[in-house]
Chains A and B, each alone.
Chain A
Amino acid sequence: MTRRAAPLLALALAVGCANAPVELTLRFPNEQAFLQSDFGRLLVYPVDPADGLGACPALVESAVSGDLGAPRYDSEQRPICALRDPGITFDDFPEGPHAFVALAYRDDPQATLLAGCRVAEAYVDAPAVEVTMFPTRFYADAVGGAPSPCTLESKCNGTCQ
């Protein structure tokens, strides 16, 4: 631990109060849905504890329609393999509830294949945030029923064409 954690600890001490790390795991519908996806994107939105805990449906509907609003964090598009197990850690996270939105798509970001959202808050020793991904209305047309020729290994080591 010490060699890796020491710089982080020193940095945190230097800036004063700490933020909590948040571990995020994406739960894909199945392996095939993962293989059909090429890119993923994570967005985090602050939500009002009083009336914002139910923000997910609107955020998902908007995001699938291409309106990403004003997220606090945006991972931008990144290879889907970079988002699989053991997941993502946000290491600089402020207090309070947030909505974690995850999207997966092929080369066309306008046609989202999978989407999911979960409200959670970051605090010390909080459990990992698991986001369930579900096929969008675009999935069937975009994929067309043909199975991916890739395996998990070949897709993520770049040997699958």
Chain B
Amino acid sequence: MSGVRRIVGGSARAVAIAGALLGAWSGCAPERTLPPGSLDPVVIGLATSTEGGLRSAGPEWLKAALLAVNEVNAAGGVLPGRLIDVVVLDDETNPDLAEALGMELLDAGAVGFVGSAASSITLGIAAVTTPAQIPQISCCSTSDNITAFNAARPPEERYLFRTAPTDALQARVVSIAAQDLACTRPAVLHLDDAYGMPFGEAIERELEADGMTVVIRVPFRSDQASYATEVQQVAATGPDCVAMVAFEVSAGQILRDWSSLATPPDVRWIGTDGVRVPGFVDEVGDPNLIREFYGTAPVTDASTPAYNAFADAFRTVYGTAPIPFASNNYDAVALLALGIARAGTTDGPAVRDAILEVASPPPETGPVTAGRLANALEEIRAGGDVDYQGASGNTDIGPDHDVVTPYEIWRYDPPTSTEPCESATQLGNDRGSFCRARILNSMDLQE
């Protein structure tokens, strides 16, 4: 055997005390040889939402981020000998907290930030992090306003990234879903924030461009106790479909208020990525209220080796399957970590440039995938560039720091549904499933 042995309790103390005594007596006990700070952790910020509209999804997304952190730390850390240390910020899905959270990040000495999920909060924090040259990567913010935020700055001043595609593309998918459902007189009901406003307006444009008559577009505030006024407004116009941009809490309330109308019009509902989460079904309460509810979302769980590696690790560590966009949050941490590793420093501009390098081809040493971050770090330490293939799909970052991925049109099936489905995401706890009804290649959508 080697010089390794297990010592418990008093024996361990005895050895430690003996060692200390000996060192003091002989003057030749081992001393630090590395300069102070050589092995200090690198601090990054992670967002979660334990309150408000994203309260059920937020903790699940945080798990995915921590999975990537632990994978990097199990490979010895993000920089030579330096682990990642995290500061977790709870945004409570409340844009009013954004600026304060940004300041907390600076105070904590964070060199990068992964978050937030809600676009309005992401932009509020970016108003602090971008001037401070701190790279920020959102998993789930899909607002077109994020593209605009970057486009308004020269490339060297862009520090905001995301691993989810812009809603400008998803609005197109909503219109295709509306055509699939034979809608002719759709209404649009949407959040009035940085996520919902541009998304709702884009959906209206796409529906009109495809020959439908949008009977009304109604913005609403998040987390109202009641949406009776809004749903009455919509119902009064006699729509045959309603496209809704909302998160799970407000969407659940809207559906309950709709069902409470004296004579609710018979409409087809089309939701978006914000409600493709198990919490939506919980908020609605009665699954039959959303039977045949359709929606759109970026595909974040394609059956690629990268996604499967991520999902296997997620299930191993947490015992459950990852929810939509969890893979995007894993990718956000992976990109930030690999960017820091590639830069070889925590200097913001260098990390920002390195994120672009590791996210996009061409690589000098071949692609590396999610679930193989030790391999990616090894390649980077050997001096090579890498092309990171994300769990969520393509993480190639374009000029305005946008990514492009495929979309799906999904359908909610209650537990009693007998509707056939080739690819269903079971929600567990007798909540039914989300069925993938159709996949659209996003490159086709851009044409």
Contacts and interface: CB of A to CB of B under 8 A. Distances in A.
Among A5, A17, A116, which residue has the most Cβ atoms of chain B within 10 A?
A5
Given A119-B81, A137-B309, A29 B316 contact: yes
A119 B30 contact: no
B8 interface: yes
B381 A76 contact: no
Given A9-B18, A121-B34, A56 B6 contact: no
B75 A73 contact: no
B73 A132 contact: yes
Interface string A43-85: 0000001001111111111000000000001111000001100
Interface in B1-22: 1-22
Interface string A134-156: 11010110010100000000000
B316 A58 contact: no
Contacts of B81: 53-54, 56, 97, 119-120
Given A1-B14, A19-B30, A140 B2 contact: no
A132 B14 contact: no
Contacts of A86: 8-9, 12
Contacts of B38: 53
B70 interface: yes
A95 interface: yes
A117 interface: yes
Contact of A60 (B39, B76, B309): B76
A136 B51 CA distance: 34
Nearest to A52: B80
Interface in A1-30: 1, 4-5, 8-9, 12-13, 16-21, 23, 29-30
Contacts of A52: 80
A124 B29 contact: yes
Contacts of A116: 73-75
Interface residues of A, number: 71
Contacts of A96: 33
A107 interface: no
Interface stretch (B290-298, B324-332, B370-378): B370-378
Contacts of B13: 1
Contacts of A119: 39, 76-77, 80-81
Contact of A61 (B3, B14, B312, B375): B375
B443 interface: no
Among B16, B26, B372, which residue has the most Cβ atoms of chain A within 10 A?
B16
B65 to A, nearest CB: 15
A1 B1 contact: no
A89 B90 CA distance: 38
B22 A57 contact: no
A4 B375 CA distance: 44
B333 to A, nearest CB: 14
Interface in A89-143: 89-97, 99, 115-126, 131-135, 137, 139-140, 143
A143 B316 CA distance: 9
9 contacts: A5-B15, A21-B16, A60-B75, A73-B3, A73-B4, A89-B15, A117-B74, A118-B76, A120-B39
Interface of B: 1-23, 25-26, 28-34, 38-39, 70-71, 73-77, 79-81, 83, 309, 312-313, 315-319, 371-372, 374-375, 377-378, 381-382
